[in-house]
Amino acid sequence: MELGISRWSPLFRTVQKSFFKFYILRSQMSLTGTSMGSGGQTARKAVNFGRTYVVRPKGKHQATVVWLHGLGDNGSSWSQLLETLPLPNIKWICPTSPTRPVSIFGGFPSTAWFDVGDLSENAADDLEGLDASAAHVANLLSTEPADIKLGVGGFSMGAATSLYCASCCALGKYGNGNPYPAKISTVVGLSGWLPCSKTLKNKLEGENEAVTRAASLPVLLCHGTSDDVVPYKFGEKSSGTLKAAGFQNVIFKSYSGLGHFTIPEEMDQVCAWLSSNLGLDGSSS
């Protein structure tokens, strides 16, 4: 599957611009000495999600994938890129997260699927924010026809949210214990990490139905070795944690020299993965 770098370059620059805005803002907040609190510690207000962008299938509708943007971005930039993919049978739903105070920005408001205090292995998980975003994804998928296969994917914080959705799907419930309704067929995470990784294995142990669901859910993780925002080791460890918890169909792809952005070669892998795991036949009618 050849996508052609010249055709893709403007769209990749669109996606990368959102990352650079985030990276520059984070650097500025650090330079001014702003302290970083723990994830989930900011005051809560009503969760109001932003605009959702939908890319209609150009061919026969066989699958619907919710794709989640990264911190500081919105659904528009990814919808433009996804529309160019040679996947005519997929309907893409690209929501925009709420704008909320983000601890890593010292409380400065930004689009974010959940709060994050720092990108470290000991960072607190914002369960309330994660549950709200996972519920939003499930709601977006709830009106799809019964014969349509469902997927979720994302970049950076969007990838983290997608992996949290995978956990909820396997467990059959959100972190707050409420039932999780979406029947997801595949998950993709680019340059992200696994939230609540320390407790996932214990939650799955002894839950036979959950173990079965985890074992049958395909997960693709991709990460650049030169990622200086979400370190490569986070992606690598997330893959290992999922496998140890019972997710038997986890593929981890590394890209030498790749920073915190995506490239055509990586999206080629995503296309192949989705085509295979969603059973797409490539029909255009």
Q: What is the pLDDT of residues 94-127, one digit of tens each?
A: 999 999 999 999 999 999 999 998 776 677 899 9
Residue 11 CA to residue 7 CA, distance in Å, equals 8
For residue 167, tell me if it sits in a domain.
Answer: yes
Q: From the candidates 103, 223, 227, 238, give the one annotated as an active-site residue.
A: 227
Contact 184, 99 (CB under 8 A): no
Which tens digits make up the pLDDT trace of 50-109? 999 999 999 999 999 999 999 999 999 999 999 999 999 999 999 999 999 999 999 999
For residue 184, tell me if it sits in a domain.
Answer: yes
DSSP E strands in 74-173: the ranges are 90-94, 99-101, 109-111, 149-155
For residue 198, tell me if it sits in a domain.
Answer: yes
Q: From the candidates 18, 103, 133, 156, give the one annotated as an active-site residue.
A: 156
For residue 220, tell me if it sits in a domain.
Answer: yes
Look up residue 165 and give its amino acid.
C
Higher-confidence position of 13 and 128: 128
Domain range holding 210?
48-278
Residue 79 CA to residue 112 CA, distance in Å, equals 17
> How many percent of the chain have pLDDT more than 70?
82
Which tens digits make up the pLDDT trace of 229-243? 999 999 999 999 999
Please, what's the largest Cα pairwise distance for the chain? Answer: 57
Is 268 a residue whose pLDDT tops 60?
Answer: yes
Is residue 260 part of the annotated active site? The answer reads yes
Q: What is the pTM of this model?
A: 0.86
Tell which residue, 179, 181, 165, has the closest CA to residue 66: 165
> How many percent of the chain have pLDDT more than 90?
76
Which tens digits make up the pLDDT trace of 7-30? 344 444 445 444 444 443 443 333
Q: Which of 136-140, 251-255, 278-282 has the lowest mean pLDDT?
A: 278-282
Structural domain total, the chain: 1
For residue 63, tell me if it sits in a domain.
Answer: yes
For residue 13, tell me if it sits in a domain.
Answer: no
Is 5 a residue whose pLDDT tops 80?
Answer: no
For residue 33, tell me if it sits in a domain.
Answer: no
Identify the CATH number of the domain in which residue 248 sits: 3.40.50.1820
Q: From the candidates 69, 136, 223, 260, give the one annotated as an active-site residue.
A: 260
For residue 14, tell me if it sits in a domain.
Answer: no
For residue 122, the model assigns a pLDDT of 72
